[in-house]
Amino acid sequence: MMSLSEISFIVYDAVVYIAVAFAIFLIGKFVYQLLHPSFKVKEELVKKDNFAFAVAHVGYYIGLLFSIGSAIVGPSNGLVNDIIDIAVYGLLAIVLLNISIFLSDYLILRNFSIRKEIIEDQNAGTGIVEGAVSVASGLIIFGAVSGESGDLLFGILTAVVFWAFGQVALIITTRIYNWITPYNLHEHIEKDNVAVGVGFAGAIIAIANLIRFGLVGDFDGWMPTFTEAGFELLVGIVLLPVMRLITDKILLPGERLTDEIINQEKPNVGAALVEAFAYIGGSVLITWCL
């Protein structure tokens, strides 16, 4: 049984970690606003009630939370060293997350203006996908940064390399998803089809979760990590059409998913949520079983 002094030290350390993490979170919030000067948070959330912006913005916060969490989890190296690690890797995670969003805007949702769709058109489908991209990027950063990899500089190097690998893998997989779906994702998302955005968002998060699983853990060498992450990516590529088929045949019996999402006057967002669950749930089950 722990003594009162031991409990006091644990509580004190926890309060310090939370305070440092909260400070880094505020920095991440400030950086996002600095990089998106045209996004007036108060105006969009309070005055315009812009749901598309709200979803994208909260997605960034979730991605930021995962990113900062990657610097916190793991064994303690002493309070001072832990604070240094959280500060360094937390700030690195903020930089990587915002670069990820920038790359994704131009490489995943590349066929139209994200700002126009979210701010001017209040396109909820675009907002949902943009939020999912932030969550996915946060998951990838979590896998890339967490774990022990030697000294600080080498740890930063491995984090950046694995993040870059994960980001490329995510972009490639979204291209494959667009290829296996029997409709043009960008065309229907731009037409304010929320259901298409929801299904696509589920696929993005599911793939990122598998990539995270392949990258997470202590550094055991470049080849073993890339091999495991590559295997998880392959599993994810196979997962997408299989989960879509399962959704069609089991989770939506008697109905075709494509008909529910695009071939009716009012797209069925509920059916798309089932599709998104199938992707994300499948990825979670796979990480539990491997």
Q: Coil, strand, or helix at residue 147?
A: coil
Give the pLDDT of residue 122: 95
CA gap 29, 267 in Å, rounded: 34
Let me know how long the chain is.
290
Measured between its terminal Cα atoms, the distance across the chain in Å is 35
Name the DSSP letter for residue 1.
-
Per-residue pLDDT tens digits for 232-269: 778 777 777 787 777 777 777 667 877 888 888 899 99
Q: What is the pLDDT of residue 39?
A: 80
pLDDT tens for the chain, 290 residues long, are 667 776 777 788 888 888 988 999 999 989 988 988 878 888 998 889 999 999 999 999 999 889 888 878 877 777 888 888 888 888 988 899 899 888 888 888 887 888 899 999 999 999 999 999 999 999 999 988 876 666 778 888 888 998 998 899 888 888 888 888 888 888 999 999 999 999 999 999 998 998 898 888 777 778 887 887 788 778 777 777 787 777 777 777 667 877 888 888 899 999 899 889 988 988 888 888 87
Q: Which of 142, 24, 7, 31 is nearest to 90 (CA)?
A: 24
Q: How far is CA 188 from the centre of its chain?
A: 22
CA distance 202 to 137: 13
pLDDT attached to residue 105: 81
Report the predicted TM-score, pTM, of the whole model to 2 decimal places: 0.90
pLDDT at 27: 93
Per-residue pLDDT, 205: 94
